[in-house]
Chain A
Amino acid sequence: DAGITQSPRHKVTETGTPVTLRCHQTENHRYMYWYRQDPGHGLRLIHYSYGVKDTDKGEVSDGYSVSRSKTEDFLLTLESATSSQTSVYFCATSPWGAGGTDTQYFGPGTRLTVL
Chain B
Amino acid sequence: AQSVTQPDIHITVSEGASLELRCNYSYGATPYLFWYVQSPGQGLQLLLKYFSGDTLVQGIKGFEAEFKRSQSSFNLRKPSVHWSDAAEYFCAVGVPQGAQKLVFGQGTRLTINP
A and B held together in a complex: no
Instruction: Please report B residues at the A interface, Cβ cutoff 8 Å.
Output: none
